[in-house]
Amino acid sequence: MTVPPPDLRIASSPQAGRRTARQSAATASRIETRPRARRTELAAFLRSRRERITPADVGLPPGLRRRTPGLRREEVAQLAGVGVTWYTWLEQGRPINVSVQVLDAISRTLGLDPVEHEHLYRLADVPELTETGGCRSLEPETQLILDQLDPIPAAVYNARYDLLAWNDTFEWMFPNLTTQPLVTRNALWQLFTGRDCCNPVVNWEEEMPQMVATLRAGFGRHLGEPAWTDFVRRLSAASPEFARMWATHDVARPGNRMKIFRHSAAGLIRTVSTSMTLAAPPETRMAVYTPADDESRERIAWLRANREAPVPDHVH
């Protein structure tokens, strides 16, 4: 008797057939979840951008009985030159096709900046930008560069603010982050869930909304991915303040800016944070924290030389 090859034996089994059907259904469900999540995110983003524009901003009279804090949907549609029904469907997250011309018109009407414009394209699933791909591990030279930057603190993050690599000075400045287990070695998680007494960020009101907006832009590239969805869900539950900032739907790119930290021993350290995109893995960047003044440079030097010692009076 001829024995069928293994793949045919499996296919002919009733149990295997049921497993295959279940697997196909699960795969179809995952495929459907991502576009639906993207449309939901697009709807919320458009609504949040519309509500921040007043009629006066676009030369319209305020009108009576205005229940929305910003423009009405029909006003956006009129200004963008698209149909009211069509725009309403778009903001409701319905599965409709969107052209580049229409997206550009809506972007101009809503006054989107370049980062928001890019975010809009991603949520609408219009391939304006080429996605990056490649390997998932850090290049071996990355740690060498970090070490060569000492005594300037520097580290590598991914788009979700997971900490991937760092040098000694960074570790001495932020021991509460670098000593965390892999699952919680995330800058946003530690900043939003840590105790107030131990939080190193001094200019919180300026810095944290910017970090959350950077995370939101990254989230737009990973809609429907369980790792991202679960991270945002858990952090929103753990931190009402993060949930409030997340709900604004602001988006931003990593950039150069002032970051002010307070170290428990060395005191106040002012830095200029410079963010540089790495070639691999995708969506990783190196953040370099250059001392902004001589006092901050002195405090970092003291920290390196006296990691275990109490801080002298002249450093405070």
**How sure is the predictor about 101, in pLDDT bands with cuts at 50, 70 and 90?**
confident
Hey, what are 238's tokens?
Answer: 């753990």
Q: What is the mean pLDDT of residues 88-112?
A: 89
Place 177 in a pLDDT band, splitting at 50, 70 and 90: very high
Q: What's the angle, vertex CA 185, arms to CA 184 and CA 187, rounded to 5?
A: 105
pLDDT > 60? residue 16: no
Checking if the pLDDT of 20 tops 70, the result is no
**Per-residue model confidence (pLDDT) at position 8:** 38
What is the tens place of the pLDDT at every residue in 46-73?
999 999 998 888 888 776 666 767 898 9
**Residue predicted with more confidence, 291 or 32:** 291
Q: What is the pLDDT of residue 2?
A: 47
- Give percent above pLDDT 70 in the chain: 82
Please report, for residues 186, 232, 274, the alpha-carbon distance to residue 156 in angstroms, rounded to integers and kept in the order given.
11, 21, 12
User: What kind and span of H or E run contains 155?
Assistant: strand 154-158
The residue among 196 and 215 whose pLDDT is bigger is 215
Residue 195 vs residue 249, higher pLDDT? 249
What's the confidence (pLDDT) of residue 135? 39
pTM of the model: 0.74
Q: Is the confidence at residue 1, as pLDDT, over 80?
A: no
Mean pLDDT (whole number) for 3-20? 48
The DSSP code sequence of 51-118 is HT--GGGGT----SS--SSS--HHHHHHHHTS-HHHHHHHHTT------HHHHHHHHHHTT--HHHHH
Note the pLDDT of residue 15.
Answer: 58
List, in sequence order, every residue forming a beta bridge with 162; answer none if it has no partner.
Answer: 186
Confidence of residue 87 (pLDDT cuts 50, 70, 90): very high
* Residue 22 structure tokens: 């279940």
Non-local (6+) Cβ contacts of 3 within 8 A are 9
Going by pLDDT thresholds of 50, 70 and 90, the confidence category of residue 128 is low
Q: Running DSSP on this structure, what letter comes out for residue 201?
A: B
285-306: pLDDT as tens digits: 999 999 999 999 999 999 888 8
Report whether pLDDT(99) > 90. Answer: no
Is the pLDDT higher at 25 or at 189? 189
Query: What is the pLDDT, as a whole number, of residue 130?
Result: 40
CA 156, CA 280: separation in Å to the nearest integer?
A: 11
Q: How confident is the model at residue 17 (pLDDT cuts 50, 70, 90)?
A: low
Q: What is the mean pLDDT of the chain?
A: 84
